[in-house]
């Protein structure tokens, strides 16, 4: 039995772009930069490590492409298993605020491109997850600390961050749920 994907968002981003179209590593890196550049910086070495892991886990396959000139290139394609893993990841809300900026934003990006009908459901599930996160943060905030003033200030900061994101996501729900027009 193969180990599950580690859950790094870059692995799923690579799969998402390879679901759109097979491509070689350099083109994939450029595609990640074009699409998710404001969120992530992915080094070529990191991307090739990710592609290697995805291949080991049978989530991608590669083949040689012989261009008209120059050396052959490895073309990566998402496998059926990779597609399944991607969709399981893309449709699940994140469970920590730390993952909102990078991971949740990437999920929205791909759902808007590849499955716009699933965006509203993800947003609704994320709003529910935010309530659970706030409950968890509040209950953890009751724990004793050796600096109760700092502990209380941090708790208020976490609660305000959750509330702010909840309001932002609620306010933009309709617009985010509209399909993104992909330029041809």
pLDDT tens digits for range 86-111: 999 999 999 999 898 889 999 999 99
* pLDDT per position as a tens digit, 36-83: 988 778 888 889 999 999 999 999 999 988 666 667 789 999 999 999
Q: What is the pTM of this model?
A: 0.85
Instruction: Using the predicted structure, report yes or no on whether residue 7 has a pLDDT greater than 60.
Output: no
* Relative orientation angle of helices 44-56 and 25-36, to the nearest 10 degrees: 110
Instruction: Using the predicted structure, report yes or no on whether residue 162 has a pLDDT greater than 70.
Output: yes
Looking at the DSSP assignment, which residues form a beta bridge with residue 60? 78
Domain 1-90 -> CATH class: mainly alpha
What six digits make up the tokens of 121?
């459901």
What six digits make up the tokens of 12?
């799923």
Which runs of E-coded beta strand occur in 134-183?
Answer: none
Distances (CA, A) of 136 to 105, 146, 155: 22, 20, 11
Closest to 59 measured CA to CA, from 115, 29, 16, 111? 16
Distances (CA, A) of 130 to 98, 104, 135: 12, 12, 9
What six digits make up the tokens of 160?
């305000």
With contact defined as beta carbons under 8 Å apart, do 133 and 95 qualify? yes
């Amino acid at each position: 039995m193969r180990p599950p994907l580690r859950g790094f968002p870059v692995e799923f981003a690579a799969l998402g772009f390879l679901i759109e179209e097979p491509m070689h590593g350099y083109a994939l890196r450029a595609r990640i930069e074009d699409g998710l550049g404001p969120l992530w910086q992915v080094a070529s070495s990191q991307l090739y490590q990710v592609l290697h892991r995805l291949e080991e886990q049978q989530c991608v396959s590669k083949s040689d492409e012989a261009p008209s000139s120059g050396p052959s290139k490895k073309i990566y394609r998402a496998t059926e298993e990779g597609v399944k893993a991607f969709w399981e990841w893309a449709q699940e809300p994140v469970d920590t605020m730390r993952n909102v900026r990078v991971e949740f934003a990437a999920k929205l990006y791909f759902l808007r491109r590849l499955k716009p009908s699933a965006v509203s459901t993800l947003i609704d599930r994320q709003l529910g997850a935010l309530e659970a996160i706030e409950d968890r943060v509040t209950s953890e905030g009751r724990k004793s600390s050796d600096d109760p003033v700092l502990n209380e200030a941090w708790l208020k900061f976490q609660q305000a961050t959750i509330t702010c994101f909840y309001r932002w996501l609620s306010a933009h729900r309709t617009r985010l749920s509209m399909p993104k027009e992909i330029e041809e």
